[in-house]
Structure 1
Amino acid sequence: MARRHERIEPTFDGPDGDDDFHVSADDRAVPTASNDARRKLRNKAAPGKTRSAKPASTARRSKGGGSGGSRGGRRRRGFFGHIFRLFLMLGLVGGLAVAAVVGYFAVKLPQEAWAIPDRPPNVKIVSVAGDLMANRGLTGGKAVSLDEVSPYIPQAVIAIEDRRFYQHWGIDPVGIVRAFNENMAAGETVQGGSTLTQQLAKNIFLNPEQTIQRKIQEAILALWLETKFTKDQILEMYLNRVYFGSGATGVEAAARRYFNRSAAEVDLGEAALLAGLLKAPSRLSPARDPAAAKARAEVVLTAMRDSGFIGEAEYADAKAQKPTTAKSYWTGAEHYAADLVMRDIRDLIGDVKEDVIAETTIDLGLEKIAEKVIRQTVDGAKQNVSQGALVAIDGTGAIRAMVGGRDYAQSQFNRAVDAKRQPGSSFKPFVYETALENGWRPETVIDDAPVKIGNWTPQNYDNRYRGPVTVADALRQSLNTVAARLVDNVGAPAVIETAQRMGIKSPMVDNASIALGTAEVSLLELTGAFAPFANGGYRATPHLVNRITTESGKVLWERGAEVPPIIVSEDVVGMMNAMLARVVTGGTGRKAAIEGWQVAGKTGTTQDYKDAWFLGYTANLTAGVWLGNDNGAKMQKVTGGSLPAQAWHDFMTAAHEGLPAMPLPGDYRIGEQEAPLTADGGYGDDRYYDSEMPRGEDQYYNQAGNAPVPPAAVGGQGVVIHDGPPPPGVTVEGRVGSGRASDQSLFRRLFGG
């Protein structure tokens, strides 16, 4: 029966080499590694040794001898008795002194040192299908149990850091002596004497400064940890809290960071590399020095072989592996989305106090396609293009793909969200939408001619003018003068209101030049503003997070299922889709066409070719592409209809593979319907005109298009526009905008379109 306070370690039944061992429920408080792996770990770290029994007491010497011998014996016993009492007293005094020192430093420990602090919470960010995208937080990865890590990892850590982990009580005198001898032999510090328990105590409670006080406190806390937790719990806490360099705290974060896989999937060579990092995480990181990381991993492999964890064959295979080369930062375009989640999460659930899972709208398959397309487009360009961005959203506004730059590892700046650039002509759809909402029609004829608005004289891209053109053709050819005329007609404030209603949040200046996209916007908000055309007129606010839960499944926040409001009428949606589809089939966006699908969109190119855009959509997906340079350098004649439209085509073609084609909302057919014109460019379905005297509320229009004017001012050179159908007996000279050439010619002559 064990004496009181004597430490009792778990025992292993069966002969050496038996792979079954069982730890009682009392021996651990959290799930730990599998029995087979755990038994191997313990057996290798603490090989079974049978202690021989103490030798029986030798027989006492036979009594005898003279009285002198007795007196000599008594004198010797008296002498040794004095010595014994002296040492006993010195030992007592020394023990009291040690106890006093220990008590002193224990009292100086902060009160919180006697409670294990919570590990900083992790935010696990997953795709719409539940696949891991990223871990965020101070640690960079979630906490894992020993059951969830490769058995090679704890073996490697114990072999190189604390071979007697399962034998000592938190402080290992044998390890200290061994480290001292090896350091003396090497002439430098090559091995530390701290146990894993001491390292854990330092990481959790203390600062890293090298002082006598800190070392004594570290030892005190190590002993306390050993009485409070089992060995497996201590090892598990250590693996989850130790720093592995390059922003990765904990073994799961490190495995994801360096190998892009979970800790459970780490092989022998990778486990040795991770264990090797503990000596100098920053200096030995494979993201900084792959060769140094490989050399240190080989030292760990040797220690594992010498400790009996692995055999010669395993040692040779792992040693033959090539050095691991890791990116200097997290890599993958999905990290742009992960960063955006971390921006929003505090507003959604407040402070994150425990590990949570953020479920996003990202489709990882589309994300990888988008990343590949942007990188290939930028790398293949010969026209001074260094950056690109892409956003794809569905009809609800859910962000399915987001690429904020060519390479996240090189630059974490999200150009899809944070870069504000002039959209150029890709802003024009909001000008035309406003015009349609004010009575214009795709068939309305307007003059493409020089125009001056205040001190502003816009010109077309090719410096040519085409004369009378329809509104639809003006948008198809992206004519600047026509867009300027429309803004001058409906007013810049009306255009700004339309753009804001559609989803543009960036500030816009009340200026006619807004017609040409001079207000700076982000790619994300511009893409979202196109989505109502694709979904039938519903608001489509871009969003990334669907739900946030704890690791146990408790829902902390969830997006509502409310139906968004209709912000564009059915008629206007039909007309806009008909016009923007012609941009792709026969206008500036021809390179964006997708076989079998109805596509609509708009190109955009800013002055001096600093920015190039293509915004387009099908009934399934809306996407935007931007290309340019961070420093605003000019590209070499890259227009929205060239590289951006081609990149959009490549992404959307892959995104629509295997899906049944669907038409865009609305069935408006340009030129097949009578779209009545009014003199001011608006519409009145039942209006007609003649040269008779006005009746009631009718207005006169003169040749300059001014109204109203006195009847005498008409002078036979104007016409009268009548509201409503003509009364019986009235001679009708023509229907307003009937489509007849004579009617359109008259209004062009009178009102310039």
Structure 2
Amino acid sequence: MYKGKGFQKYAKPFVLKSIFISILVLLYVFCLPKKLFTKPTSTVIVSEKNELLGALIADDGQWRFPHENKVPEKFKTCVVQFEDAYFYKHPGFNPISIFKAVSQNIEAGKVQRGGSTITQQVIRLSRNNQSRTYFEKIIEIILATRLEIRHSKDEILAFWTSNAPFGGNVVGLNAASWRYFNRKATELSWAEAATLAVLPNAPNLIYPGKNKQQLLRKRNRLLKKLLLEKKIDSLTYQLSILEKIPDKPYPLPQIAPHLLQKVNQQKKGQFVQTTIDKNLQQQANDIVQQHYNQLSKNGIHNLAVLVLNVKTRKVLAYVGNSPTSKKNQKDVDVIDKPRSTGSILKPFLYAAMLDNGELLPNALVADVPTNFGSYHPENFDKTYAGAVSAKLALSKSLNVPTVSMLQQFGLEKFHHYLQQLQLKDIKKSANHYGLTLALGGAESNLWDLSKTYASMASTINHYSENSSRYFTNEFCEPTFYAEKKVDFGTKTSQKTIFDAASCYLTFESLKEVNRPDAEENWDFFDSSKQIAWKTGTSFGFRDAWAIGATKDFVVGVWVGNADGEGRPGLVGVQTAAPILFDVFDKLPNSAWFEKPFDEMTEVEICTKSGFRATQICEEKKSIFIQNSGLKTAPCPFHVLVNLDVSEQYQVNTSCESFANIKQKSWFVLPPLMAYYYKEKNPFYKSLPDFRKDCISDENNAMKFLYPSEKTTIFLPKDFEGKTNELILKVAHSNKNATLFWYLNSTFLGTTNELHQMAIVPKVGLHTISVTDNFGSEIRQTIIIK
């Protein structure tokens, strides 16, 4: 009983001591915050080669770059020699330095020297520079020893380097290096590294631009110490002390400011390596500057350029806007903003029709005045060719053939293709856009359009490089983050959206577009680059586009005003295309795309019509078409006609013996197409007339040129108040026909050869009827207002 009480008597203090010690140990273990520094940092972007492109100041107004794990060797040597020569030997504090500091402070009667190690300074920085008291110093020592246990010496030095003050609102070595020497810290000379090493000792007293002589003396003393410690040789020392102290801070580079803002929205306060090629970015900036100087004279203030690598889908250059004024919205990033597309979607319709087996590149399509209900599209130059090949309609960006092709293909079907392409600004139904969908009735943005051209180019590349296989995620998003690798998906035998042949034939057509400044024979020069490119101009001259693709690169250009103001001359080929080719001139040459033979078939086509040749096509040639093109109709424009021996007249057995009838193939266009076609094709031959002694079963076709279908017409008055005449026009397949004109059953007169009739009808509803001398009749209803 006595022994038990004695044991309890001595055990109780032991337990209390153990608990107390355990609490102290726990407090020591957890005394250091998990994250030492929580202040906001600058968003910093660098190029693919780690060259600084730009930075945004931190939210607290400091230039504080994100934490860097590595400290450049020169600066490491300088700062250790200046701040803490025994840094790599002490456990977080230096007793000798503390003893000297206390002695000097007691002798002076005030705090003159801190005796802090770099580790203690890191703790002090993390605690927001608490007031200097002995109690605070004890806390710093405790936390410093804990920091030494948690981190290596180099990690501790990296904390100090990233968070030490360097004068003004500059925090951290990397920000200081750029602000004071306009270069990254790894490129500093010994003199520059020494200059920065002495700044944190008194950052508010001396820094570039303030007390230069004091700064110079401190730097040189450190260089002298480096010489004595044999860290540098005498020659390096002599050259270093000759270097000047910088006069004032440099502005940080702003090479890709709009990309910086975009990155800041996604990765604020981080150090981000982008995919940007700094040299190309600067060249693109210079090109934009040059063109902006000219365009701004015409009140055109904004433009954007995007360059993509087709094979990696990485962004190589990103110019979000021109260097215009704040008034003209220079800070708006136009690249991802929806704008009216103009003609820039036409290649997608062309590719879709090829892919669907509803078109051949050489096939003739109608280019004649046409009304689609109340919609009356016109070509840019207000002229018509009658009939043009589909690929020429694309390369010349003709509006009327495009709308005819869209109506033939189907509005809903084309809209579905655009949805598959993930053009995110085309949000509404097909009926909302109507047939204007291919002419600028919809909106899209430079990012989505450029990525689609890149995906089409990549489809051809991948098909050729992977044994005629596609990738499931071919039409993917590009990236401007260096660490992100674009995932093209897995290989498949099935196309993603467009097959390789349709993409190839589309680019073949776009390659034939004439370059600006009437360089119509540019493709004959050896130094030229083969580029598939397309321009677009929106209604009202508000947006000008140019996008070009090669095997390796896509360049997209938009020009206009951010506020939507239209300007005369704001046309794609005049304003955007020159920028496009200036940028391509800075890119390496690319070989042309390989022909995807496994997706193509060699067939004979009719030379004149471009359709698959029939037996009666007199001129044929062999070309490779997409496999789906085998579904297209044979040539509809060649007919067999019976001629007399002289081939001047059509005949039949009513007027000529069978033995004297010569049968011949003849290229015949419908009358409206023929009317315009022969104006630009003088070698086009209309069908010969029937010989007068023959009983003709000829179908004499005629059609209104103007007005076409039911339409409303406004007749203006001249300066004398007289109402202008309305000119009626009709095309007839028989040049010898006589036409009889009527307005509301009232006879107006007759015409021969040139069938035009001038009338001045009253306001209201009228019926125009025309009868030829063969008994055929056409009618048209018009409304006069």
TM-score range, shorter chain: 0.5 to 0.7
Task: Please show how residues 166-185 of structure 1 align to structure 2 within 5 Å.
Answer: 168-169=97-98, 172-173=101-102
Q: 1:240·1:252 contact (CA, 8 Å) conserved in 2?
A: yes
- Select which of 574, 577, 596 maps to 1:642: 574
For residues 110 and 335 of structure 2, what CA distance do their matches in structure 1 show? 59
- Select which of 96, 119, 123 maps to 1:201: 123
Q: What's the CA shift string for 1:359-388, capped at 9, x where partnerless?
A: x65545544443433333334544344443
Task: Tell me what 2:584 maps to.
Answer: 652
Query: What SS does structure 2 have at the residue aligned with 1:616?
Result: strand
Query: What SS does structure 2 have at the residue aligned with 1:607?
Result: coil
Task: Tell me what 1:602 maps to.
Answer: 534
Task: Tell me what 2:73 maps to.
Answer: 147
Q: 1:445·1:744 contact (CA, 8 Å) conserved in 2?
A: no
Identify if the C-alpha distance between structure 1 residues 306 and 279 changes in structure 2 by more than 3 Å, giving closer, same or farther.
closer
- Select which of 284, 288, 294 maps to 1:374: 288
Q: 1:397·1:541 contact (CA, 8 Å) conserved in 2?
A: no
Query: What SS does structure 2 have at the residue aligned with 1:203?
Result: helix
Are 1:427 and 2:348 matched, yes or no? no
Task: Tell me what 1:117 maps to.
Answer: 35
Question: Residue type matched to 2:581 in 1?
Answer: H
For residues 181 and 456 of structure 2, what CA distance do their matches in structure 1 show? 43
Q: 2:360·2:632 contact (CA, 8 Å) conserved in 1?
A: no
Length-normalised TM-score, structure 2: 0.57
Task: Tell me what 1:255 maps to.
Answer: 177
Query: What SS does structure 2 have at the residue aligned with 1:572?
Result: helix
Task: Please show how residues 238-253 of structure 1 align to structure 2 within 5 Å.
Answer: 238-242=160-164, 250-253=172-175
For residues 660 and 211 of structure 1, what CA distance do their matches in structure 2 show? 68
Higher-strand-fraction structure: 2
For residues 654 and 566 of structure 1, what CA distance do their matches in structure 2 show? 32
Identify if the C-alpha distance between structure 1 residues 211 and 591 changes in structure 2 by more than 3 Å, giving closer, same or farther.
farther
Are 1:582 and 2:507 matched, yes or no? no
Identify if the C-alpha distance between structure 1 residues 364 and 394 changes in structure 2 by more than 3 Å, giving closer, same or farther.
same
Question: Residue type matched to 1:325 in 2?
Answer: Y
Task: Tell me what 2:443 maps to.
Answer: 520
Segment drifting more, 372-381 vs 731-740: 731-740
Query: What SS does structure 1 have at the residue aligned with 2:418?
Result: helix
Aligned-pair Cα RMSD in Å: 5.7
Higher-helix-fraction structure: 1
Task: Please show how residues 295-694 of structure 1 align to structure 2 within 5 Å.
Answer: 295-296=210-211, 298-306=213-221, 308-309=224-225, 317-319=242-244, 321-327=246-252, 330-333=253-256, 362-381=276-295, 382-396=297-311, 398-405=313-320, 415=333, 417-436=335-354, 437=356, 439-509=358-428, 510=430, 511=433, 512-537=435-460, 539-544=474-479, 548=483, 559=487, 562-563=490-491, 565-584=495-514, 595-635=527-567, 637-657=569-589, 672=607, 675-676=610-611, 684-686=632-634
Q: 1:531·1:617 contact (CA, 8 Å) conserved in 2?
A: yes
Kindly state the Cα deviation for residue 600 of structure 1 after the two structures are TM-superposed.
1.6
Q: What's the CA shift string for 1:423-454, capped at 9, x where partnerless?
A: 22112212333344361334444444444445
Identify if the C-alpha distance between structure 1 residues 371 and 690 changes in structure 2 by more than 3 Å, giving closer, same or farther.
closer
Question: Residue type matched to 2:511 in 1?
Answer: A
Q: 2:459·2:500 contact (CA, 8 Å) conserved in 1?
A: yes
Task: Tell me what 1:26 maps to.
Answer: none
Question: Residue type matched to 2:405 in 1?
Answer: L
Task: Tell me what 2:770 maps to.
Answer: none
How many positions carry a matched residue from both structures? 569
Kindly state the Cα deviation for residue 615 of structure 1 after the two structures are TM-superposed.
0.6
Q: What's the CA shift string for 1:375-434, capped at 9, x where partnerless?
A: 333345443444432223344451241313357999996836432222221122123333
For residues 103 and 605 of structure 2, what CA distance do their matches in structure 1 show? 90
Segment drifting more, 219-228 vs 663-672: 663-672
Question: Residue type matched to 1:434 in 2?
Answer: A
Q: 2:166·2:207 contact (CA, 8 Å) conserved in 1?
A: no
Kindly state the Cα deviation for residue 515 of structure 1 after the two structures are TM-superposed.
1.6
Identify if the C-alpha distance between structure 1 residues 216 and 331 changes in structure 2 by more than 3 Å, giving closer, same or farther.
farther
For residues 422 and 250 of structure 1, what CA distance do their matches in structure 2 show? 46
Identify if the C-alpha distance between structure 1 residues 378 and 656 changes in structure 2 by more than 3 Å, giving closer, same or farther.
same
Q: What's the CA shift string for 1:31-62, capped at 9, x where partnerless?
A: xxxxxxxxxxxxxxxxxxxxxxxxxxxxxxxx
Q: What's the CA shift string for 1:618-637, capped at 9, x where partnerless?
A: 23322211223433344552
Question: Residue type matched to 2:529 in 1?
Answer: W
Query: What SS does structure 1 have at the residue aligned with 2:507?
Result: helix
Query: What SS does structure 1 have at the residue aligned with 2:255?
Result: coil
Identify if the C-alpha distance between structure 1 residues 607 and 545 changes in structure 2 by more than 3 Å, giving closer, same or farther.
closer
Q: 1:677·1:736 contact (CA, 8 Å) conserved in 2?
A: no
Kindly state the Cα deviation for residue 225 of structure 1 after the two structures are TM-superposed.
0.7
Question: Residue type matched to 1:265 in 2?
Answer: E
Kindly state the Cα deviation for residue 241 of structure 1 after the two structures are TM-superposed.
2.8
Q: What's the CA shift string for 1:292-343, capped at 9, x where partnerless?
A: 732255433322345654799668633355544223xx5223x766776777
Identify if the C-alpha distance between structure 1 residues 407 and 609 changes in structure 2 by more than 3 Å, giving closer, same or farther.
closer
For residues 107 and 344 of structure 2, what CA distance do their matches in structure 1 show? 72
Question: Residue type matched to 2:442 in 1?
Answer: A
For residues 428 and 744 of structure 1, what CA distance do their matches in structure 2 show? 35
Identify if the C-alpha distance between structure 1 residues 643 and 304 changes in structure 2 by more than 3 Å, giving closer, same or farther.
same
Task: Tell me what 1:265 maps to.
Answer: 187
Question: Residue type matched to 1:620 in 2?
Answer: D
For residues 574 and 673 of structure 1, what CA distance do their matches in structure 2 show? 23
Q: 2:48·2:482 contact (CA, 8 Å) conserved in 1?
A: no
For residues 477 and 583 of structure 1, what CA distance do their matches in structure 2 show? 7
Identify if the C-alpha distance between structure 1 residues 175 and 141 changes in structure 2 by more than 3 Å, giving closer, same or farther.
farther
Question: Residue type matched to 1:489 in 2?
Answer: Q
For residues 367 and 584 of structure 1, what CA distance do their matches in structure 2 show? 27
Identify if the C-alpha distance between structure 1 residues 628 and 642 changes in structure 2 by more than 3 Å, giving closer, same or farther.
same
Q: 1:141·1:252 contact (CA, 8 Å) conserved in 2?
A: no
Identify if the C-alpha distance between structure 1 residues 181 and 226 changes in structure 2 by more than 3 Å, giving closer, same or farther.
same
Question: Residue type matched to 2:73 in 1?
Answer: D
Identify if the C-alpha distance between structure 1 residues 737 and 362 changes in structure 2 by more than 3 Å, giving closer, same or farther.
farther
For residues 197 and 273 of structure 1, what CA distance do their matches in structure 2 show? 21
Identify if the C-alpha distance between structure 1 residues 735 and 377 changes in structure 2 by more than 3 Å, giving closer, same or farther.
closer
Query: What SS does structure 2 have at the residue aligned with 1:644?
Result: helix
For residues 416 and 341 of structure 1, what CA distance do their matches in structure 2 show? 15
Query: What SS does structure 1 have at the residue aligned with 2:444?
Result: coil
For residues 155 and 407 of structure 1, what CA distance do their matches in structure 2 show? 48
Kindly state the Cα deviation for residue 527 of structure 1 after the two structures are TM-superposed.
0.9
Query: What SS does structure 2 have at the residue aligned with 1:433?
Result: helix
Q: 1:612·1:626 contact (CA, 8 Å) conserved in 2?
A: yes
- Percent identity, aligned pairs only, is 22
Gapped runs of 5+ residues in structure 1?
A: 1-105, 160-164, 184-190, 285-290, 347-351, 550-556, 692-730
For residues 306 and 195 of structure 2, what CA distance do their matches in structure 1 show? 38
For residues 671 and 362 of structure 1, what CA distance do their matches in structure 2 show? 49
Q: 2:281·2:316 contact (CA, 8 Å) conserved in 1?
A: yes
Question: Residue type matched to 1:203 in 2?
Answer: L
Q: What's the CA shift string for 1:67-109, capped at 9, x where partnerless?
A: xxxxxxxxxxxxxxxxxxxxxxxxxxxxxxxxxxxxxxx99x9
Kindly state the Cα deviation for residue 491 of structure 1 after the two structures are TM-superposed.
3.0
Gapped runs of 5+ residues in structure 2?
A: 1-23, 59-63, 86-92, 228-236, 461-469, 614-628, 640-662, 675-682, 689-698, 709-785
